[in-house]
Each structure stands twice: as structure tokens, then as C-alpha cells.
Structure 1
Amino acid sequence: MLRQLSESANPLLSTYPFRLAPDGLATRRQLRATGLRPGGQDICAQVMWLSRRYGRRIRVAYLYRIDRALPVRPMTPAKWAALAAANAARRICPNCRTDAGYVIPTSLDECVSCAYPEEPRAA
């Protein structure tokens, strides 16, 4: 297993085993959880592990320096409005043009009432 990890590692990056990265480094998700973002900095290291969940494939998580990370940009009113409009559009059925009251599943591409018109509805 160690040979597999070393063969697939990027030779330009420091590589650490799972959960053994040094302090001061974090993944994108870890940065975001603390209200930070990479801020344009390059990847400085990587964590590699053999995942049993994904068919025993080697997984990689890139690490960034926390001291170089920048605060997350705040949402502007325009961004909030765009996000609300996008979420509202996901609720409107393209067939009957009504608000379904839920996000329409991509597997159906229409509301449940239009997808299954013959089934009885609960009152």
C-alpha cells in the first residue's frame, strides 16, 4: 500500500498520511469552516490515503497554509438576490409553471403531479 501511495504522489509536494498533516496546514473545507479561503495561494502539501469507500482508490486532499489564507468575502445584496432567484427557479415546474413547494428532482425534470398524473393524491 505504501508503494502505491508513493507512486501516485506528486513529487513536487510534501505528502502526509491521513490525519498526520502538521499544524498550520488545512484543506479547503477546513479553511471554509473557520471562515477563511485559500486566497490565490498555491497548494503547499497533500494528504493521501487509500479509501475503502471508493473502491480502494487512492484519495488526495490538497493543503493550504492557514497563515496565508484570507477571510471569506461577504455576500453582497446582489449575490443574495441571485441565489434566491436561482433557488426559486428550481422549484418551478417547466410543464405547469407552478411553484411545486419543493426543489424539483432532476430525475423527473417536472413536478410529481405532472410526472404521475394518474396516481391519486392525498387530500
Structure 2
Amino acid sequence: MAGRFWDPDGARYGIPTYPFRLAPEGLATRRQLRAAGLRPGGQDIAAQILWRPRKKRRHKGQPLKKAYLYRVDRALPVRPMTPGRAAALAKAMAARRTCPECRTDAGYCIPTSLGMCVTCAYPEEQRAA
């Protein structure tokens, strides 16, 4: 199975492709870069990792999973959090916690599937409890 996704020249998939956990040193995903305090910094994708989802969770026709890889030597440090960015982030998170119906802070991010806090979405269940 690992041989199926082994394409370091990019002849089959267009960009260099490696199986899961077999990428060469010097390449990292966005999450790995972030954990190291780095960001891609505008560089192009250097390679990709392809794998099939686990059979237990896979549905018929589900596409392959992929993760793009970036060169670590070209990565830039993460931009520091400024007071303005921190204030904007706090304001955005407060907006995600505020219920549009009752205008109160729910204490959690409002589910987009409901569009309102659980108390407003299911008032009859709240009265019974």
C-alpha cells in the first residue's frame, strides 16, 4: 500500500508525494510548523502526503486524505500577537458565544447548526429540567 503513494518525482500526482509517515526530513505540515513556532510564509507547497482513511470510518467513494508539506528551511517565524490582534480575537470569540435570540453570553461557542444557544433552541426541555 505504501508503494502506491510513493512518487518523489511528482510524475504521477503532479507534485512529490509520499505515503503517511514517510516524508523526508526538512518537510513539515502546517501543524508541525506551527508547533515549532513557524509558518509557511508564502512559500509554495513542496510536496504532499496521501493516505486512505481507516476502513471503519471510510464511506464508499470517500476521497483520499492529503496533507501538504512545506520546506522548513524557508519557513518564517510566527508573527507575534499584538494588542490590537488580541483585542480583535477576543471580540470575535465573544460574538461566537453571544446568542442572537436572548443576547446573553452562553459560555460556549454557539453551534452553527442551531444558530442560537441550547436554552433558546430547546425551551421545553429546559422547563422540564
Q: Of 88, 98, 105, which aligns to 2:94?
A: 88
TM-score when normalising by structure 2: 0.77
Determine the C-alpha separation between the residues in 2 that align with 1:101 and 1:46: 39
Contact 2:34 2:78 in 1 (8 A): yes
Distance apart, 1:92 and its partner CA: 1.7
Please list, as runs of the form range in 1=range in 2, the aligned pairs for 1:1-123 lying within 5 A after superposition: 5=5, 9-11=12-14, 13-52=15-54, 53-55=57-59, 57-119=63-125, 120=127
Determine the C-alpha separation between the residues in 2 that align with 1:90 and 1:10: 40
SS at match of 1:113: helix
Once structures 1 and 2 are overlaid, which stretch shifts more, 78-87 or 54-63?
54-63
Q: Which runs of 4+ in 1 moved over 4 A?
A: 1-6
Say which structure is richer in strand.
1
Q: How many residues align?
A: 120
SS at match of 1:51: coil
TM-score when normalising by structure 1: 0.80
Determine the C-alpha separation between the residues in 2 that align with 1:49 and 1:116: 41
- Aligned-residue Cα RMSD (Å) equals 2.5
Percent identical? 68
SS at match of 1:80: helix
SS at match of 2:64: strand
Q: Tell me: CA distance 1:51–1:83, structure 2 relative to 1, closer, same or farther (3 Å).
A: same
Once structures 1 and 2 are overlaid, which stretch shifts more, 90-99 or 36-45?
90-99
Once structures 1 and 2 are overlaid, which stretch shifts more, 45-54 or 67-76?
45-54
Determine the C-alpha separation between the residues in 1 that align with 2:25 and 2:47: 12
1:1-45 Cα deviation digits (max 9, x unpaired): 678647xx523x222121111111111111111111111111111
Unaligned runs of 5+ in 2: none
